[in-house]
Amino acid sequence: MERQAVFPSDRPRPTSPYSPGIRLDRLVFTSGQVGADPTGKVPEDIRAQTRNCIDNCRAVLEAAGSGLGRVLKVTVFLTDIAEFGAMNEVYRSAFQGDLPARSTVQVAALARPELRVEIEMIGYVP
């Protein structure tokens, strides 16, 4: 099994010391993806941030040969659990059929003060 870093070609490379994803054999692990769009802009709305998180995870998964339909496990980090319902509306629209296993937790803070949600996923490559 060869461990391979995954960098989506349509996203900027991180300036911090991490890989957006790691592929090991047929598994893909995304790093936590935040609500910033590809230009780095962070919308204020939790729904827009959630959409960006999912789009960013999708880009990593697809760069590794996977996709949202092949996600096994998701972890969601929220800075305010009161926003769970709004996040969940957007999250639910991203998946078809059987949903992945998921954990959702409230955290004290994320990497930047304007960030309200971070999502990481584990998927497989067929």
- pLDDT digits over 64-92, tens only? 999 999 999 999 999 999 999 999 999 99
Q: Which of 60, 36, 61, 62 is nearest to 50 (CA)?
A: 36
Partnered with residue 6 across adjacent β-strands are: 21
Residue 63: half-sphere exposure toward Cβ, Cα within 13 Å: 21
CB 98 within 8 A of CB 71: no
Q: Answer whether residue 1 shows pLDDT above 80.
A: no
CB 123 within 8 A of CB 27: yes
What would the pLDDT profile of 25-56 be if each residue is shown by its tens digit?
999 999 999 999 999 999 999 999 999 999 99
Q: Give kind and range of the element (H or E) at residue 85.
A: helix 84-93
17 Cβ neighbours under 8 A, 6+ residues apart: none
Separation of alpha carbons 27 and 64, rounded Å: 9
Q: What domains does the chain contain, in order, with CATH numbers? A: 3-124 (3.30.1330.40)
Confidence band for 23, pLDDT divided at 50, 70 and 90: very high
**pTM of this structure:** 0.96
Structure tokens at 109: 């803070």
